[in-house]
Amino acid sequence: MNRHTKLAFMVAPFLAIFGYIGADYYEENQAQETKLIQLVPEGHCDVINQNCVLSSGEFKVNVSDEAGITEINSTFPLDSATLFLVDKNDKMTPYPLGMQKSPYYWQSPTNLRSLVVNRGDSYKLRLIAKIKGGQYISEFYTQTVK
């Protein structure tokens, strides 16, 4: 065995370890980059009657309102969440949601209930949920059924 082969056998384990660590850092960096993912409603959305689920693959968000407190809960922990009420002129009113119990549950007082009080009333909502550099966004309508 010549000296180049011996040197290659000595250096190869270190190169493998450094390559593994470098690949891990690269993957972590890719996961932190900002991505926009769209959430779509699963069927009819009725936030007032707790029947509104938005999804994108395995990630699901349930949007509901009880006694003027609008709440979302998700299948994965969120870093932050903001709900927007959008009027007929496309003017948005933001409601930053505060974490409750755990990063899976977020809520804030809103006036959504007063806007869709009657059966058949409809209102446009937008939601932005952030998870590790990924932004899950949705624009959907809630319509009261009962």
**Per residue in 81-106, pLDDT tens?**
999 988 888 888 898 999 888 898 99
Planar angle of CA 39, 84, 63, nearest 5 degrees: 50
CATH number for position 78? 2.60.40
Residues 14 and 50 grouped into a single domain: no
Nearest CA-CA partner of 127 in 67, 32, 41: 41
Its pTM stands at: 0.73
Query: Taking the C-alpha atoms of 106, 112, 118 and 121 in order, what is their torsion angle to the nearest 10 degrees?
Result: -100
Residues 14 and 83 grouped into a single domain: no
Residue 68 confidence (pLDDT): 85
Residues 17 and 67 grouped into a single domain: no
SS3 43: coil
Number of domains in the chain: 2
Residue 9 confidence (pLDDT): 86
Residues 41 and 57 grouped into a single domain: yes
Residues 52 and 16 grouped into a single domain: no
Name the residue range of residue 11's domain: 1-33
